[in-house]
Amino acid sequence: MEELDIIPVVDLSKFDPPPRELIYGRIFGGLKPMTKSELQAIYKRVNKSIARKVYVCFHGARMYRDAETFSTLVNYER
């Protein structure tokens, strides 16, 4: 993947991102919205990385609410 400069996809709710300048994360939520502490953990993983750009994509029944809450959290932390 490194030779071809392929961007790995990681579930940021479970794993730290790879040490790259561009991160693409997919979050697979369940039937209930993610808690603020779960979203904060994702933010901390991303924030401690060396990434300059981060794309986070939410999937699942509550993806819109989770994405909105995460966006609010990220904008508040800045």
How far does CA 57 lie from the centroid of its chain?
A: 7
Q: pLDDT tens for the chain, 78 residues: list them.
A: 778 888 999 999 999 999 999 999 999 877 788 999 999 999 999 999 999 999 999 988 889 999 999 999 888 765
Nearest Cα to 71, choosing from 59, 52, 58, 53? 58
Q: Where are the domains of the chain?
A: 9-77
What pLDDT does residue 3 have?
Answer: 86
What pLDDT does residue 29 have?
Answer: 78
Distance CA(46)–CA(48), nearest Å, equals 6
Following CA atoms 6, 11, 43, 38 in sequence, which dihedral angle do they give, to the nearest 10 degrees? 180
DSSP-assigned states of every residue in 11-59: -TTTSPPPS-SEEEEEEE--SSPPPHHHHHHHHHHHHTS--SEEEEEEE
- Output the pTM of the full model: 0.83
What pLDDT does residue 78 have?
Answer: 57
What pLDDT does residue 62 have?
Answer: 87
